[in-house]
Amino acid sequence: MSLQRRLTPYVFAAPAVAIMVIGLFYPVVEALRLSFYEVRLGEPISPQAFRGLTIFLEAVQDPSVRDSMAVTLEFSVIVVTLEMVLGVGLALVLEAPIRGMTVLRTLFVLPMMIAPICVGLIWRYMFDVNVGPINGWLSILDLKPAWLAEPGLAFFAICVTDIWQFTPFVFVLALAGLQGLDRSAIEAARIDGASAWQTIVYVKLPLLAPILMITLLMRVIDALRGLEVVYAMTNGGPGLSTELFSLHIYKSAFVTQRMGYSAALSVCLLIVTTALSALLLTRTSPLRRLAR
């Protein structure tokens, strides 16, 4: 094989690699470098501002950091679990060729198409204590909860909003996976006398597992870095009851203007996200079988 033929694949891959390095790796390296310096927004990085691991130690010892991370993990577990259950369930129900199903599938996908900041504003209005339609309906029962003013209710509100927006994402991927399954395996199960429930549990879901694992991984990563919806709905309040970790990073960067501290928090979030993703991949995917 000539040198030209050997170099051709690398030449074609070079633009994509360059984009990845510039758009992904360079910002991560810069954030890591910035995390060792105590600098304010707009200040240049100088040797005098170097703090080493002191900023990371401060972040670990900060109670507000631990609280926001706890809120983020609780939020992620709740919304991702419910989104996976609801999304897969809807895909199984709407998989059958029923009249008008195309319209229903389109309606289910609409929330995913709305910008997150708009979703936050929409649901902030929906949960408004005075003019929100939810309280308008509950007024029939003589109820008027302050959804965004009480910690428990505010957390419930942001969970409902995220589930409403991203369940369609799980639904679309699960439905695409179901429509691409090997029909011979499903027909064989039916010929063997398997019920509809047994076909789902023992045939469809195992065949769908690789797609579901990728979907789960994408939703976990997205939930851990959630920002816009919570920013628009509650801005982390009341108190710190809905302050997700990404929102805490945002406030550290643009409210208190501690860019080095916010960079250190970003690196911590990257580490947590990478660790959870690696754990999920090795525990629930073919990578685990290869490791054995």
Structural domain contains residue 165: yes
How many structural domains does the chain have?
1
Structural domain contains residue 106: yes
User: Is the pLDDT at 159 greater than 80, yes or no?
Assistant: yes
pLDDT for residue 50:
87
Contact 223, 269 (CB under 8 A): no
Structural domain contains residue 19: no
What pLDDT, in 10s, does the model give residues 65-120? 999 999 999 999 999 999 999 999 989 988 877 777 777 777 888 888 899 999 99
pLDDT for residue 291:
47
Q: What percent of the chain has pLDDT over 90?
A: 45
Structural domain contains residue 33: no
User: Is the pLDDT at 292 greater than 60, yes or no?
Assistant: no
Q: List the single range of 92-96, 150-154, 253-257 with lowest mean pLDDT.
A: 92-96
Q: What percent of the chain has pLDDT over 70?
A: 96
pLDDT for residue 24:
83
Q: Domain span at residue 128? A: 63-291
- pLDDT tier at 162 (50, 70, 90 boundaries)? very high
Q: List the single range of 2-16, 112-126, 159-173, 253-267 with lowest mean pLDDT.
A: 2-16
pLDDT for residue 284:
65
- pLDDT tier at 290 (50, 70, 90 boundaries)? very low
Give mean pLDDT, residues 20-48: 84
Structural domain contains residue 9: no
The average confidence (pLDDT) of the chain is 88
Structural domain contains residue 129: yes
pLDDT for residue 289:
46
Give mean pLDDT, residues 167-193: 88
Structural domain contains residue 53: no
Structural domain contains residue 138: yes
Q: List the single range of 98-107, 149-158, 256-265 with lowest mean pLDDT.
A: 98-107
What CATH number is associated with residue 283?
A: 1.10.3720.10
- pLDDT tier at 268 (50, 70, 90 boundaries)? very high
- Give the burial class of 231: count Cβ atoms within 10 A of its Cβ; 0-12 exposed, 13-18 middle, 19 or more buried: buried
Nearest to 237 by CA among 157, 148, 117: 148
User: Is the pLDDT at 286 greater than 60, yes or no?
Assistant: no
